Structure 1
Amino acid sequence: MRIGFSVPQFGPFADPDRSARMCTALEGLGCHSLWVADRLLAPLASPEGYPGGKGMPARYATHLDPLLTLGVAAMATERVRLGSSTLNALWQPPLVLARALTTLDLISHGRLDVGLGLGWMREEYEAAGVPWRGRGARLEETLDVLDAVWRPGTVAHTGPLWTIPESTVLPKPVQVPGPPVLLGGFTPTALERVGRRADGWLSASMPLPHLTGLWSVAVAAAERAGRDPAGLRRVFRVNPEVTRAGATPAESHRRGTVRRICDHLEAMCEAETDEVLVDLQLTTDSPEEFLDLAAAFMAELDGGSPAPARDQPVPARDQRVSAEDSPGRPPRA
């Protein structure tokens, strides 16, 4: 199992200097990855559809840009993987997105994981001037453009939404054939897309029977596409509600003591490439408590093993990382 934490970027943590210091401290705990999230606005009239059904937390009204925050995290760390869970993929043209992601992969020396999703808030799409309808088809073509930009050679793309004349687009990312792309979503259509063309799934802590049913869709889709399902990564996000007392079995995937929540996360992870993402930004307002809780989750999930060495060699900026060197990457369709 791999262990990740959220990059501090919302509410009281929306301060670049504070975020940088906390990223350095989180890496020092020995975690494997740090992840940003994406929020564009918080409507005063409560939006419908927020996952969890309790209404969107007020602190999401204060946020740092996810891609720029990843740049801060990249400069503040040396070893951890850096990802987005999730970046709303459709709010900017894919060529512009590809350029930004390539730059982040270079800044981080090949440590970038690209986690993309469609979002859930119609109001953000309206504010960004992006149609709400047709999101799935727009994401498919976005992935086509990312592949076209990142593969070696010249770039050309002709599709229903975007046309790129044959062009030179340099530099290329450090990672070959580009940073790993993980997709979010909890519908059969989303899981089919994960199995068919992604490097992994950005999921959430959930009851095990629900997980089994969803994952079977991705596995079947990967097999139909001639891909090895065992190569797909899974990242399980939890926004824990930490309590002193225990919780009911139905709540243990997100609420209870640190030990109880970790028991459920460990039960979800079946492969070494499975990963948990603990987002503590809704759990505390204090940087000190944030880091104390992160240490507690590390101790439970990692068995108290020592932090990885921080003096591991880092690839030079112009050194390409092969697909075989990237963790858990099945061949793309």
Structure 2
Amino acid sequence: MRIGFAVPQFGVFADPDLVPDLSRALEDMGYDSLWVGDRILGPLAPSDPYPGGDGVMPQQYATHLDPLLALTLAATATERVRLGSSTLNALWQPPVLLARTLTTLDLLSHGRLDVGIGLGWLRDEFTAAGVPWERRGDRLEETLDLLEAIWASETVEHQGRLWTVPASRILPKPAQRPRPPILLGGFSPAGLERVGRRGDGWLATAMPLPHLTGLWSQVLRAAEQAGREPSRLRLVVRVNPTITASPADPAQTFARGTVGQICDYLRSAVAAGADEVFVDPQLIASSPNEFLDLAKEFITNLRAG
């Protein structure tokens, strides 16, 4: 079982001085990977409900560090852990500039980057970024086309609906060849089909296991239909847990329960096909000490199992 944890980034943890020390401590505890998320604002009158809980976006997300700069701080403070985004809303910036930043991060980390990309769910953020909400899937497809060409091809030339790149050399290339792994989020039929057709894996959130395995089977079928080897795709499951002092309803332990119950769920997810799980406690921890105490409790429990 590969086990990850969140990079401190949101709410009280949106402090660049915390990122190196806490990231180094997480690596020393034995975590396999560190992960960032992506937000740009907390609207006072949201255009869309938050896709979880009671539909209200947690207030912590209104205070945030840039995900790739936070990941850069984590990279410089660590030596071994993989570094991922779950998920990066890649549609908010031109692919050529995004490729440059991600290439630099992969080189800086000596090839430890996992590029996790999602479409986003909040129209207000697209409005603020000046990016159309409509045809997000098409925008992502062309973004992936460009990222792959920039990373793998000696000469890059692109003429698409959204972007034009004249025949050029774009150097350097990432440390990982032909490119860093690309993991995709998404839960719609089109999103799951895209994961199977184009991604190196699926970034899922914790949910009841029958639902998780049902969606994962859609990804694997799409990979097979695209002529790809389904067994080469990775399933990464993220949990933002609510920790309870006493045992919670077993049907809810994908989201809430004791640390032991949450860990039991994560072990069950691995048994059902997940390659990696990671925990983000930034919605429940109130201090760096509590953040690290939870990290220690989770990895001790998960490794013991």
Q: TM-score band (shorter)?
A: over 0.9
Look up the SS of the partner of 1:90 in the other structure.
helix
5 Å-filtered alignment, 1:91-170, equals: 91-170=92-171
Amino acid in structure 2 at the alignment position of 1:147: E
Q: Which residue of 2 aligns with 1:213?
A: 214
- TM superposition shift of 1:45: 1.7
Q: Which residue of 2 aligns with 1:296?
A: 297
Distance change (3 Å), C-alpha of 1:176 and 1:139? same
5 Å-filtered alignment, 1:10-49, equals: 10-49=10-49
State whether structure 2 residue 191 is matched by structure 1 residue 190. Answer: yes
Distance 2:93 2:153 in 1: 23
Structure with the higher fraction of residues in helix conformation: 2
Distance 2:292 2:51 in 1: 26
Amino acid in structure 1 at the alignment position of 2:17: D
CA-to-partner distance for each residue in 1:122-152, whole Å, 9 max, x for gaps?
Answer: 0000010000000001000000000000004
Look up the SS of the partner of 1:113 in the other structure.
strand
Distance 1:252 1:173 in 2: 39
Amino acid in structure 1 at the alignment position of 2:84: G
Q: Which residue of 2 aligns with 1:309?
A: none
Look up the SS of the partner of 1:269 in the other structure.
helix
- TM superposition shift of 1:228: 1.1
- TM superposition shift of 1:203: 0.2
Distance change (3 Å), C-alpha of 1:39 and 1:177? same
- TM superposition shift of 1:44: 1.4
CA contact (8 A) 1:4 1:34 kept: yes
Amino acid in structure 2 at the alignment position of 1:36: V
Amino acid in structure 2 at the alignment position of 1:75: T
- TM superposition shift of 1:249: 2.1
CA contact (8 A) 2:213 2:272 kept: no
- TM superposition shift of 1:254: 1.1
Distance 1:47 1:243 in 2: 31
Amino acid in structure 2 at the alignment position of 1:106: L
State whether structure 2 residue 235 is matched by structure 1 residue 234. Answer: yes
Q: Which residue of 2 aligns with 1:201?
A: 202
Look up the SS of the partner of 1:212 in the other structure.
helix
Distance 2:198 2:302 in 1: 30
Look up the SS of the partner of 2:5 in the other structure.
strand
Distance change (3 Å), C-alpha of 1:191 and 1:71? same
TM, length-normalised to structure 1? 0.89
Distance 2:98 2:46 in 1: 29
Amino acid in structure 1 at the alignment position of 2:270: C
TM, length-normalised to structure 2? 0.97
- TM superposition shift of 1:276: 0.6
Amino acid in structure 2 at the alignment position of 1:205: A
- TM superposition shift of 1:271: 7.5
- Which stretch of the first structure deviates more once superposed, 2-11 or 211-220? 211-220
CA-to-partner distance for each residue in 1:83-126, whole Å, 9 max, x for gaps?
Answer: 10000010000111000000000110000000000110000000
Q: Which residue of 1 aligns with 2:251?
A: 250
How many residues align structurally? 304
CA contact (8 A) 1:2 1:272 kept: no
Distance 1:41 1:153 in 2: 38
Distance 1:273 1:24 in 2: 25
- TM superposition shift of 1:47: 4.2
Unpaired stretches in structure 1, ≥5 consecutive residues: 305-333
Distance 2:46 2:96 in 1: 33
CA-to-partner distance for each residue in 1:177-221, whole Å, 9 max, x for gaps?
Answer: 111000001111111101101000000111111012111111111
CA contact (8 A) 1:116 1:184 kept: yes
- TM superposition shift of 1:272: 8.2
Look up the SS of the partner of 1:127 in the other structure.
helix
Distance 2:250 2:97 in 1: 45
Q: Which runs of 4+ in 1 moved over 6 A?
A: none
Distance 2:165 2:37 in 1: 29
CA contact (8 A) 2:237 2:274 kept: no
Distance 1:296 1:204 in 2: 21
Distance change (3 Å), C-alpha of 1:192 and 1:272? closer
Distance 1:253 1:108 in 2: 32
- TM superposition shift of 1:302: 1.3
CA-to-partner distance for each residue in 1:57-99, whole Å, 9 max, x for gaps?
Answer: 1111111001111110100111000010000010000111000
After superposition, the CA RMSD in angstroms is 1.2
CA contact (8 A) 1:2 1:273 kept: no
Distance 1:230 1:160 in 2: 33
- TM superposition shift of 1:257: 0.6
Q: Which residue of 1 aligns with 2:9?
A: 9
Amino acid in structure 2 at the alignment position of 1:100: T
Distance 1:197 1:238 in 2: 24
Amino acid in structure 2 at the alignment position of 1:51: P
